[in-house]
C-alpha cells in the first residue's frame, strides 16, 4: 500500500470510530501539533513509529468510551494494526543501520 493511501486509511478509520472529527484532532491524537497530519500528507512523508505508537495508545485509552461493543473491538484491532506498523518501521530502520559499515 502506498504511503498516501495508508495515511488516509488510518485517518478515515479513526474518524469512522468517532474518535476525531477532523485532521487537527487526529494530529493531536498522534501527539503532534494540529497541522502535522496535513503537512505529512502534502509532503507524502510516512508517520513515525512514535506517532503510530502514540496514536495506538490514545485509541486504546479512548476505546473504553465506546459503548458499542463492535466499535470497541474495531478500535482495539486498529490499535494493534498501528503497533504492527510501528514494529515494521522500526525493523526497517534497524536493517538500514545494520547495513552501514563503520
Range of the domain at 75: 3-99
For residue 2, how many other CB atoms are within 10 A of its CB?
A: 8
For position 6, what pLDDT does the model report? 95
Contact 46, 83 (CB under 8 A): no
For residue 57, how many other CB atoms are within 10 A of its CB?
A: 15
Q: Which residues of the chain have pLDDT under 50?
A: none
- Which candidate, 4, 5, 13, places its Cα nearest to that of 82? 13
For position 101, what pLDDT does the model report? 57
For residue 28, how many other CB atoms are within 10 A of its CB?
A: 15
* The total number of structural domains that make up the chain: 1
Threshold 0.85, pTM exceeds = yes
What the block records as the C-alpha cell of 92 is 526497517
For position 98, what pLDDT does the model report? 83
Amino acid at each position: 500500500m502506498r504511503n498516501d493511501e495508508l495515511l488516509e486509511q488510518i485517518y478515515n478509520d479513526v474518524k469512522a470510530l468517532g474518535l476525531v472529527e477532523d485532521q487537527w484532532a487526529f494530529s493531536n491524537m498522534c501527539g503532534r501539533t494540529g497541522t502535522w497530519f496535513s503537512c505529512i500528507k502534502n509532503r507524502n512523508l510516512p508517520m513515525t513509529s512514535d506517532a503510530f505508537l502514540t496514536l495506538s495508545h490514545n485509541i486504546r485509552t479512548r476505546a473504553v468510551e465506546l459503548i458499542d461493543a463492535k466499535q470497541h473491538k474495531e478500535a482495539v484491532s486498529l490499535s494493534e494494526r498501528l503497533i504492527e506498523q510501528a514494529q515494521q518501521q522500526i525493523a526497517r530502520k534497524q536493517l538500514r543501520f545494520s547495513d552501514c559499515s563503520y
